[in-house]
């Protein structure tokens, strides 16, 4: 028995007569939406309804997970578990035919109505095991997006996932591919405090599902064991980020993320979450250690011939005329290229503009020390693209971060000075790339290459305006960059407060220009109202302040600081909040670290001297801290230091001072515990001045 909705065919031969799972009345709401409204109105409806199911089922970003697959108009696609059709539309636009299988009639009706103009879509309603025997064995792609984890429910038995895959293999055409998108049970987001996607509790996947249930997600190693048991030969893994549901970027083993790239981590929308640590910083360390494939939040496993594609990034959070996809591809000879494709018809002009921008920028920077990445226009199946040479090197932003990490402030400013010299060449020419941020410049030795210039305009833009925006974006991307000396940068640029105000307004107007009326995913998350809980703050509320105001000393004799060799000096406090003590250490100590407390606090330094000589607190080669030093009316030797962290510390480089065989550090300071939020506010007030100019805090 079949029904038709528009041009879509629904096959009910195996439908059991009732839906065995349902999200409740919200599915009726979604059905009414897809009947009444066109696809272009979904973004507005998502913002108005503020509903997780509506976002999940209707967001266009759901299609990203299959959009980059090289499906051709001659290909046949099988989509198992098609649900409300979140990816069916993308498949139907790419393929010759799409066969969907889903157990729910209500969801299949939603799918059919929203894609009613797709004459190449057939939806089989019923249990997969009932429908499967009637399916042909010539599918070029079989897609399981968020489905493989339900194998036990679909198939049953002692080896449900292996049996599921073996059944699917029977329906694959020679040279075809099976595509599986699934959460990683050891994804970093779960360690950081996101609830498990299916069970809705904390750490159940990490704890190996102690309470049972039929849903299972896997590590990459476990997936590969399942594939091996099914005699799978060629397979490749991709890493959708932040996860496969609302993917904005996909990485591969041929192109893994670099430091600083993984910053959009608060992307759970359906539930409250804890925030146990900063996922961006954790990802930076994971990337540096080569462990990203272990802790990626999701996997996309492709069984069959590997793709030419190494990487794709989606810019969906934009107005229709600017939505694009960026790809890195490797051809059969191993040559890499970068391509940018329009995601909408309206964005085709924007992509064509990139080749024109290249020619103009090449002329402006001819004879300079800034290369412009070569761009060639192209066309594929009637769709224009811009092709760029793949350039090796490291982002300038990454080099700057390394300078800040090792407290090489002069190194940072040297890079910034070179940036100004190179990008300012030909400033009087009426053509400029407005997006000349540090991340868009790759550095390879003495070669600096501008790699992304889609926002090039035919007008003169002052170099200091471009540099102001570069600093603005750089600092906002990462809290740790707040340590930057903005006064020195603004002095270098000779920017007045009025100019800074104009630049900020210019940035707001530019963002409106790029995004139109579309809300970002971060803004949508805020609309849905999911809470973010920080247990470390709860702990601070219940700790006794007396236990927190303990001083701890670390010594570095060439092997770094270690907890094992640290100690707590006794009888530190001579009165409430007044610490007065001495630290004895030998001549082998290079660095001495003093932690004034184990909580956020403010310290007034009355004395800090080594062998009777004051420690020069303003000399960053000698004295460093993870707090904010406030100017004091008593002079540079008696400042206050604010710490908005539970691990406040001050480090003194003893080997450049009057170090002797036996040494004494004399310390007198007032230490007052304050709430972390208050400490952050106080540090923000202190930033008034240069930071206020940059971020508009005045």
Burial class (CB in 10 A: 0-12, 13-18, 19+), 222: middle
Mean pLDDT across 347-371:
97
pLDDT, mean over the chain: 92
pLDDT at 545: 45
Give the whole-angstrom CA distance, residue 15 versus residue 18: 8
- For 525-566, write each residue's pLDDT tens digit: 888 877 888 887 666 555 444 567 889 999 999 888 988 889
Question: Cβ–Cβ contacts within 10 Å for residue 612, how many?
Answer: 8
Q: Residues 98, 101, 107, 108: is their CA dihedral positive or negative?
A: positive
* Confidence class for position 364, pLDDT limits 50, 70, 90: very high
Query: Whole-structure pTM over 0.85, yes or no?
Result: no
Domains and CATH numbers, the chain: 2-187+212-258+297-305 (3.40.50.150), 318-517 (1.10.510), 540-686 (no CATH)
> Is there a cis peptide before residue 577, judged by omega within 30 degrees of 0?
no
- For 167-198, write each residue's pLDDT tens digit: 999 999 999 999 999 999 999 999 999 999 99
* Confidence class for position 38, pLDDT limits 50, 70, 90: very high
pLDDT above 80: residue 591? yes
* Confidence class for position 611, pLDDT limits 50, 70, 90: very high
Give the whole-angstrom CA distance, residue 346 versus residue 568: 65
Q: Which of 113-117, 197-201, 225-229 has the lowest mean pLDDT?
A: 197-201
- Between 271 and 693, whose confidence is greater? 271
pLDDT at 482: 72
Mean pLDDT across 341-345:
95
In whole angstroms, how far apart are CA 244 and each of 64, 85, 366, 524? Answer: 8, 15, 43, 18
Which residue's structure tokens are 């080997």?
Answer: 655
Mean pLDDT across 351-359:
97
- For 575-587, write each residue's pLDDT tens digit: 888 999 999 999 9
Query: SS3 string of 54-103?
Result: HHHHHCHHHHHHHHCCCCCCCCEEEEECCCCCCCHHHHHHHCCEEEEEEC
* Confidence class for position 690, pLDDT limits 50, 70, 90: low
Mean pLDDT across 659-681:
92
- For 234-262, write each residue's pLDDT tens digit: 999 999 999 999 999 999 999 999 988 99
pLDDT at 693: 59
pLDDT at 333: 87
Mean pLDDT across 305-312:
95
Give the whole-angstrom CA distance, residue 608 versus residue 637: 8
pLDDT above 90: residue 398? yes
Residues in contact with 234: Cβ distance below 8 Å, sequence separation at least 6, in sequence order? 303, 304, 305, 306
Nearest to 652 by CA among 604, 687, 611: 611
pLDDT at 544: 43
């Amino acid at each position: 028995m079949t029904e038709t909705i528009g041009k879509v065919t629904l096959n009910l031969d195996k439908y059991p007569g009732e839906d065995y799972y349902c999200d409740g009345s919200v599915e009726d709401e979604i059905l009414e939406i897809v009947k009444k409204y066109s696809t272009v109105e979904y973004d507005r409806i998502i913002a108005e309804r503020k509903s997780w199911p509506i976002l999940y089922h209707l967001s266009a970003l759901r299609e990203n997970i299959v959009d980059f697959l090289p499906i051709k108009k001659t290909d046949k696609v099988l989509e198992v578990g098609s649900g409300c059709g979140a990816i069916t539309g993308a498949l139907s636009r790419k393929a010759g035919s799409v066969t969907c299988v889903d157990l729910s009639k209500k969801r299949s009706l939603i799918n059919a109505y929203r894609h009613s103009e797709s004459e190449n879509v057939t939806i089989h309603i019923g249990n997969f095991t009932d429908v499967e025997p009637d399916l042909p064995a010539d599918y070029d792609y079989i897609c399981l997006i968020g489905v493989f984890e339900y194998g036990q429910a679909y198939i049953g038995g002692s080896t449900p996932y292996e049996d599921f895959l073996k059944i699917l293999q029977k329906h694959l055409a020679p040279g075809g591919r099976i595509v599986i998108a699934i959460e990683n049970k050891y994804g970093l987001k779960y360690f950081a405090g996101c609830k498990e996607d299916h069970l809705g509790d904390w750490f159940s996947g990490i704890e190996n599902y102690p309470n049972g249930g039929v849903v299972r997600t896997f590590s990459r190693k476990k997936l590969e064991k399942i594939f091996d048991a099914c005699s799978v030969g060629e397979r490749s893994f991709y890493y959708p980020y932040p996860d496969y549901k609302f993917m904005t970027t996909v990485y591969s083993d041929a192109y893994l993320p670099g430091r600083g790239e993984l910053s959009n981590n608060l992307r759970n929308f359906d539930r409250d979450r804890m925030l146990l640590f900063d996922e961006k910083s954790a990802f930076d360390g994971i990337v540096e250690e080569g462990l990203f494939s272990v802790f990626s939040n999701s996997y996309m496993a492709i069984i069959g011939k590997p793709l030419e594609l190494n990487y794709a990034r989606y810019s969906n959070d934009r107005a229709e005329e600017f939505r694009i996809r960026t790809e890195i591809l490797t051809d059969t000879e191993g040559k890499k290229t970068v391509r940018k494709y329009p995601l909408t018809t309206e964005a085709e002009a924007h992509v064509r503009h990139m080749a024109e921008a290249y020619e103009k920028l090449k002329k402006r920077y001819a004879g300079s020390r800034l290369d412009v990445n070569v761009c060639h226009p192209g066309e594929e199946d009637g769709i224009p693209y811009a092709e760029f040479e793949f350039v090796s090197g490291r982002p300038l932003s990454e080099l700057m971060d390394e300078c800040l990490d090792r407290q090489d402030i002069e190194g940072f400013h040297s890079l910034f000075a070179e940036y100004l010299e190179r990008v300012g060449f030909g400033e009087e020419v009426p053509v400029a790339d407005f997006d000349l941020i540090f991340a868009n410049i790759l550095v390879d030795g003495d070669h600096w290459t501008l790699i992304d210039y889609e926002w090039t305009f035919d007008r003169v833009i002052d170099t200091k305006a471009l540099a102001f925006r570069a600093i603005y974006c750089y600092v906002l991307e990462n809290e740790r960059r707040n340590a930057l000396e903005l006064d020195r940068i603004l002095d270098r640029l000779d920017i007045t407060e009025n100019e800074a105000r104009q630049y900020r307004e210019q940035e707001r107007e530019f963002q409106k220009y790029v995004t139109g009326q579309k809300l970002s995913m971060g803004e949508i998350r805020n609309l849905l109202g999911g809470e973010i809980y920080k247990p470390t703050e709860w702990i601070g509320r219940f700790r006794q302040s007396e236990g927190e105001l303990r001083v701890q000393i670390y010594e570095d004799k060439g092997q770094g600081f270690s907890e094992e060799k640290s100690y707590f000096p006794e009888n530190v406090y001579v009165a409430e909040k007044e610490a007065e003590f001495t630290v004895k250490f030998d001549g082998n100590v290079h660095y001495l670290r003093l932690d004034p407390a184990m909580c956020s606090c403010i310290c007034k330094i009355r004395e800090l001297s080594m062998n009777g000589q004051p420690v020069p607190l303003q000399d960053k080669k000698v004295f460093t801290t993870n707090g904010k030093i406030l100017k004091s009316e008593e002079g540079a030797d008696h400042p206050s230091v604010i710490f908005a962290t539970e691990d406040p510390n001050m480090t003194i480089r003893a080997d450049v001072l009057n170090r002797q065989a036996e040494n004494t550090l004399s310390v007198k300071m007032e230490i007052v515990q304050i709430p972390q939020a208050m400490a952050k506010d106080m540090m923000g007030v202190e930033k008034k001045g240069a930071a206020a100019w940059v971020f508009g805090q005045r």
